[in-house]
Chain A
Amino acid sequence: MRQVNTGKVSLYARHEMLDLVLIDGKAKGIIARNLDTGNVERHGAHAVVLATGGFGKIYYLSTLAMGCNVSAIWRAHKKGAFMANPSWTQIHPTCLPQSGEYQSKLTLMSESLRNDGRIWVPKDKNETRKANDIPEEERDYYLERKYPAFGNLAPRDIASRSAKEQIDEGKGVGELKNAVYLDFSRALKEYGKDVIVERYGNLFLMYKKITDIDAYLEPMKISPAAHFSMGGLWVDYELMTTIPGLFAIGEANFSDHGANRLGANSLLQACVDGYFVLPYTLQNFLADEIKNPKTDINHPEFDKAEEAVKRQMEGFLATKGNKTAEEFHKVLGSELYDKCGLSRSKEGLEKAIENIRELRKEFKENLIVPGNASEVNSELEKAGRVADYMEIAELMCVDALQREESCGAHFRIEYQTEEGEAKRDDANFCYSSAYEWNKNPSTPILNKENLTFETVTPSVRSYK
């Protein structure tokens, strides 16, 4: 905000980027819509930087804010930027479970709770007693049992997958049997309530507000939820995408995390990309560009992009069907969570691709958006975002399907060890997949960026 005060930065709050404008192959500006007025605006520049975050909200139920979306990077992808590892999504283990169809998000409870909380389910899947009435010997502390060296602090992909296993076996707890217990009774006994209040007081309060349950008296109920997109726009070491002059930083790009982001590393990436890398690499690009005159926003490429954006919005408004964008999003999200979420299979992914194509067809014919494009219209905003979700959803499945191995958060049930752990195939899949848009969402072109390890050798993870 200091830079705003000095006049170096202008803020355009409540604006949404709807397209990227390329002139002679270089990123030269964007088309944006002012969400408070509906006006479509043109912004020209010497370079464009996208810091538009991740798209985990594609699963509908996620830990993300409601407005998180893929539109900025997806529309850049459709203008030529490669999209890398789109199927790699982190599912976070400590979130609040779904309580009903109307639910809009799954609140994240901090990972730190696993320092002192113990995760368990009843051994008997027909268990009906309350948590506190179930004796110690009838509880399965499955993380401590399966991963004695790490116990409740096993990494996110393992903790989430293990929770899903228990829930799928019918041992889930809560009314919908879709959660596992996170129990603080031992820590409370050992350290006293004061210490627990100091460490986690705000989280216990938040839990109480949402669920009306006092977690000092009975265990919390938690479940896995979509959290972070490790994939995103492909960038080079200068954080530039395959479009000259288009940069992507933070969760919007694919770099840093591989298939399994570690806790706190998204903050780290935000700092590294924003403070320490981009301010220097952007200058490398601008050194040759800044002498060029300012981009003319009356250039025919701006006309074309603006027309396309307006045409799309008119299309949404003219459909006049019977299903809201939100309803489409819910169907898409549960399809993806089911078939391209914590575990994936060839059969499931092929089915998902089929279903997504069907859904996209229905979206074209049966969407309802009220009002018009020149007013505040949140339904119109959502329609655009869901349209993009419908397209990248297929690419996520295509990506998960081609990667015939299990790797980090990507778990293909066909590729696992006898003990049910992920089985990587470094001989054939040691690459980042980078997709090129090719006319329509069903015909992407796969490019492979081979990973070369010079100082370390990849090994098999073990938390036993």
Chain B
Amino acid sequence: MKIHLKIWRQKDSQSKGVFKEYILDDVHQEMSFLEMLDTLNIKLVKKGEHPVEFDHDCREGICGQCGVMINGIAHGPLKNTTTCQLHMRSFKDGDTIYVEPFKAAAFPVVRDLKINRSSLDHIITSGGYVSVDTGQAPEANTIPITNEIAEAAFDSAACIGCGACVASCKNSSAALFTGAKITQLELLPQGQKETRKRVVAMVNQMEEEGFGHCTNTEACLR
């Protein structure tokens, strides 16, 4: 199928960005969104142009690198689906697709669609852990945890830190990201001791990085 692309091109964090237009004639439905960008990039490089820079690594939805805004929606039209797991069958022949980086004050653009998410690392660094050395593995039965609690904690731990919640929020808040880590550790006995200290440290850090606050409009859940 034929796809019209309007892609944000920005040389570095200091430069001004613009949308550039590209047309691809031979897009297959089975291609992932990133594979579609790969084919564009091979064409650009062969012409001696700089390829569209975008972050990606695992391409199976777990590394949290590949998020971009697709037609104004973080990771595109499918729910709970990262950009790499989005396939071109979600689009029609002749569609125009706008592709932009996640935009937030705390996510400076590195180049084109690449952004720097170190600010999320800093939030974790400020308290997203248990302050006890691991040491030898203890006997598993000394701290009983029910399956329901383990599963609930795991659900929160499943946040991949992609930053889509920030990109979707009118306040550019990282409350969902920060809250996920706080909830995961609060649910488990190993994490409970430090909850108060952790919440204050992580929320303060979130603010310091330039993320906004949550106003509970749940834009990040849509």
Contact = CB atoms under 8 A, between A and B. Distances in A.
A103 B34 CA distance: 10
A102 B53 contact: no
Contacts, number: 90
Contacts of A460: none
* Binding site secondary structure of chain A: loop
Q: Which of A368, A369, A378 counts the most chain B CB atoms within 10 A? A: A378
A66 interface: yes
Interface in A75-113: 99-100, 102-105, 107-108
Nearest to B118: A13
B21 interface: no
Interface in B113-161: 114, 116, 118, 121, 124-129, 131, 134
Interface string B46-86: 10111101001111110100000000000000100100010
A102 B125 contact: no
A13 B32 CA distance: 27
A275 B134 CA distance: 9
B110 A326 contact: no
B12 interface: yes
B87 A209 contact: yes
B219 interface: no
A206 B58 CA distance: 14
A66 B60 contact: no
B35 A104 contact: yes
Interface residues of A, number: 36
B59 A102 contact: no
B42 interface: yes
B56 A1 contact: no
B208 to A, nearest CB: 14
B51 A379 contact: yes
B215 interface: no
A210 interface: yes
B63 A65 contact: yes
A313 to B, nearest CB: 16
B45 to A, nearest CB: 5
Contact of A103 (B35, B50, B81, B121): B35
Interface in A157-193: none
A370 interface: yes
Given A66-B56, A368-B46, A379-B51, A104 B129 contact: no
A36 interface: yes
B46 A102 contact: no
A13 B38 CA distance: 24
Contacts of A326: 38, 42
A209 B85 contact: yes
A2 B116 contact: no
Interface of A: 1-2, 4-5, 11, 13, 36, 65-67, 99-100, 102-105, 107-108, 206, 209-210, 212, 275, 322, 324, 326-327, 368-371, 375-379
22 contacts: A1-B121, A1-B125, A1-B129, A13-B121, A65-B58, A65-B59, A66-B57, A66-B58, A67-B57, A102-B35, A102-B39, A104-B59, A105-B59, A210-B32, A210-B85, A210-B87, A322-B46, A324-B42, A327-B42, A376-B53, A376-B110, A378-B51
Query: Top 8 closest A-B pairs, CB basis?
Result: A376-B111, A65-B58, A65-B57, A1-B125, A99-B30, A2-B129, A4-B125, A67-B57
Given A1-B125, A65-B63, 17 more contacts: A1-B121, A1-B129, A5-B125, A11-B121, A36-B116, A65-B59, A102-B28, A103-B35, A104-B38, A107-B59, A206-B60, A206-B85, A369-B45, A371-B50, A376-B110, A376-B111, A379-B45
